[in-house]
Amino acid sequence: MLASGALNFAFQKATTEGKITIGVLLVVSLVSWTVIIRKTRQLWRARVAARQFYAAFGNSRDPLELFRKKADFIGAPANEVYQVGAKELQYHLVNNPVQVKGQTKVSLAARDLVRVSLERAVSTQTLSLEKGMIVLSTAVAGGPFIGLLGTVWGVMETFSGVARANQASLTAMAPGVAGALIATVIGLMVAIPAMFAYNFMVTSIRAITQELDNFTSEFATQIEHQYVDNRALADELADALGRAPVRGREVAEAA
């Protein structure tokens, strides 16, 4: 970066404070690019693995089929959410079963616990996807200001030197001004890539999060259709409609 003539000259003429500012900006840039590379790889793996998981889940007839097959889709946030919900459901099927016409189901309380576990898993995956984004937002907001600080400081030093030397000529001022401006240039070079990466990644994370919410709703609906006690659902529906709970033959009709 400092190999070009103008930047090299400006860096050589920069004050000690300006060089310290440039050093801080280089550290911020290094951290920013590390986050960019890691997040890009994470989001790319999440996209690829998510497509595979959604395809496999869409082809399954039982909500627990992939869980029982121990299918794994490394890097897919939806798979992590699915595993948490499936484990919770399997726990209640084994430890708190409800027998309905020879089929093992779960109660409404167990269904609510499964939903809570799914929501918690979605929050965990969202936090994982957003981890490190604060570094990029800090680079975008702080990079130009750090550079501006170095520039203002350098210009102040230049004018102070001119005033002390009583020599207000362009030849005397130009090197100092050039050395001061390089801090702003470096600050912008740090902030601009971070800004583009941040906007792209925020959009990608938002899309993945929306897909997670949609999957969670679909998964919860399938669990309710196949593994929740229909009698309890009928009573819940009756309570919602302000009617007396249905039993016996009415239960079968309601189901």
- 9 compared with 200, residue with greater pLDDT: 200
- Number of compact structural domains in the chain: 1
Mean pLDDT computed over every residue of the chain: 83
**Pairing relationship of beta strands 98-100 and 103-105 according to DSSP bridges:** antiparallel
Query: Where is mean pLDDT largest: 54-58, 153-157, 235-239?
Result: 54-58
- 237 compared with 67, residue with greater pLDDT: 67
| Whole-number Å distance between alpha carbons of 148 and 41 | 32
| Whole-number Å distance between alpha carbons of 135 and 178 | 29
Residue numbers of the domain that contains 244: 5-254
| Whole-number Å distance between alpha carbons of 104 and 112 | 17
Instruction: Express each pLDDT in 15-57 by its tens digit.
Output: 778 788 888 999 999 999 999 999 999 999 999 999 999 999 9
* Secondary structure of residue 105 in the 3-state scheme: strand
Residue type, 189: M
